[in-house]
């Protein structure tokens, strides 16, 4: 039975990652056609010499960093508030928080676009950052809440009884306990921001293109191996972020067990 389980798992992984592997291989192909002609790194050289791609990368990283940090702060505070609720209020808050995660991206994108129009917020970098913060917050909340459930809240109350201010007690007692969840939420928000296309497409302005939007515009003009190189770099970045996130979380767990 073990070989059946392993074969099934291997088949699933093959279906999931075979297209990505093909894309990465052809990003080193010395031809614009999907026929292997030889190894080259010219497409990566063109990526780093293309001012349009460089500008898109700058916007992507700016939006991802700012939105993930802001979403982490708001999401962590919201998670703490929801955790302290009881009864139907807590259930209602959790269910409402689930809605953005379950809604299609196109619904979120169009909803935010209409909201910005009603509020007369100009489309551009600010609207893009706000939209990314909005869809990232629920993921941060649900990354932090399990750590809050595991935490002994009596430690916080004990710190207050010993004379600590609420802010100092939060910094020294609560934050270290929930830090793995906070870091996980931050990395999730960061990767979601880098990967997002639909919400960004509806809420960006003229001249403000993220990498997914830039790749879409390039793909509409025909086959271009530079797209393969850009996509490979994005995939590698997300993998690195996830690995760092898992390593950090595992280190925190090991430190907690040692203590």
Q: How far apart are CA 242 and CA 238, in angstroms?
A: 6
Residue 21, number of CB atoms within 10 A of its CB: 10
What fold, for 52-258? Answer: MetI-like fold (1.10.3720)
Tokens of 203: 């809420």
Is the pLDDT assigned to residue 188 strictly greater than 70? yes
Instruction: Express each pLDDT in 131-180 by its tens digit.
Output: 999 999 999 999 888 888 887 777 777 777 777 777 777 777 778 788 88
- Domain ranges, ordered by start, for the chain: 52-258
Is the CB of residue 130 less than 8 Å from the CB of residue 119? no
Average pLDDT of the residues of the chain: 83
Rounded average pLDDT over 203-223: 81
Tokens of 254: 């090991």
Classify 244 as helix, strand or coil: helix
Rounded CA Rg of the chain: 22
pTM greater than the 0.85 cutoff: no
Instruction: Express each pLDDT in 70-128 by its tens digit.
Output: 999 999 989 888 888 888 888 888 888 888 888 888 999 999 999 999 988 888 889 99
Residue-level pLDDT at 72: 93
Residue 132, number of CB atoms within 10 A of its CB: 28
Tokens of 67: 């939105």
Residue-level pLDDT at 132: 93
């Amino acid at each position: 039975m073990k070989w059946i389980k392993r074969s099934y798992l291997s088949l699933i992984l093959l279906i999931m990652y075979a297209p990505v592997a093909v894309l990465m291989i052809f990003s080193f192909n010395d031809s614009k056609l999907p026929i292997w002609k030889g190894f080259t790194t010219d497409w990566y050289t063109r990526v780093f010499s293309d001012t349009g791609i460089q500008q898109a990368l700058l916007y992507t990283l700016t939006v991802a960093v700012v939105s993930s940090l802001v979403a982490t702060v708001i999401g962590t505070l919201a998670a703490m508030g929801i955790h302290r609720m009881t009864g139907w209020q807590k259930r209602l808050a959790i269910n409402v928080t689930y809605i953005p995660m379950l809604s299609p991206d196109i619904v979120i994108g169009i909803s935010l676009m209409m909201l910005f129009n009603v509020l007369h917020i100009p489309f551009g970098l600010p609207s893009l950052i706000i939209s990314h913060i909005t869809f990232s917050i629920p993921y941060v909340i649900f990354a932090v809440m399990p750590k809050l459930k595991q935490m002994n809240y009596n430690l916080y109350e004990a710190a207050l009884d010993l004379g600590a201010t609420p802010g100092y007690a939060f910094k020294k007692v609560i934050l270290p306990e929930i830090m793995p969840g906070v870091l996980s939420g931050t990395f999730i928000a960061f990767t979601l921001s880098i990967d997002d296309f639909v919400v960004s497409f509806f809420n960006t302005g003229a001249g403000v293109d993220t990498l997914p939007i830039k790749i879409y515009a390039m793909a509409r003009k025909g086959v271009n191996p530079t797209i393969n190189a850009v996509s490979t770099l994005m995939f590698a970045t997300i993998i690195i972020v996830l690995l760092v996130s898992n390593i950090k979380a595992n280190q925190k767990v090991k430190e907690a067990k040692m203590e």
